[in-house]
């Protein structure tokens, strides 16, 4: 079993920065992806950023140039550096891990990010 625990959420003013971290425990190996999703009130959960075991990254158009995803394979962590935050970034952010070959998927409990104007 894989457990994911997010941290780093909080309240920040527009234009500020925040760094989210996700610590993974369990078997992290093979072809996989780690990603950050977010869900705002009344909206569907959406992909924010993804990084593969090979280092390839993908970002939602709304966060390109502002957010950076990275992973430390030795520590089994994935981080999301968020700069130039906007009120529309307000959401619960979830860490996601997926084994590509098997299709197994795991989620963290989420961490709240609130950006005030």
DSSP string, 84-107: S--GGG-EEEEEEEEETTT--EEE
Q: pLDDT digits over 45-65, tens only?
A: 999 999 999 999 999 999 999
Neighbours of 98 (CB within 10 A): 19
DSSP string, 31-43: SEEEEEEEE-TTS
DSSP conformation class of 56 = -
Q: Among candidates 76, 85, 72, 70, which has minimal Cα distance to 36?
A: 70
Cα–Cα distance list, 71 to 6, 22, 86, 88, 105 (Å)? 14, 9, 24, 25, 18
Mean pLDDT of 61-82: 94
Q: pLDDT digits over 84-109, tens only?
A: 999 999 999 999 999 988 889 999 99
Neighbours of 109 (CB within 10 A): 11
Residue-averaged pLDDT of the chain: 95
Residue 34 above 90 pLDDT?
Answer: yes
pLDDT at 47 (0 to 100)? 98
């Amino acid at each position: 079993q894989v457990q994911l625990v997010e941290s780093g959420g909080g309240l920040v003013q527009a234009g500020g920065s925040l760094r989210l971290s996700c610590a993974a425990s369990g078997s992290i190996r093979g072809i996989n992806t780690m990603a950050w999703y977010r869900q705002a009130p009344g909206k569907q959960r959406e992909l924010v950023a993804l990084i593969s075991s090979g280092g390839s990254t993908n970002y939602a158009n709304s966060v390109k140039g502002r957010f950076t995803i990275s992973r430390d394979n030795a520590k089994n962590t994935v981080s999301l550096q968020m700069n130039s935050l906007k009120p529309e970034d307000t959401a619960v952010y979830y860490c996601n891990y997926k084994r590509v070959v098997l299709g197994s998927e795991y989620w963290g409990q989420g961490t709240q990010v609130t950006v005030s104007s």
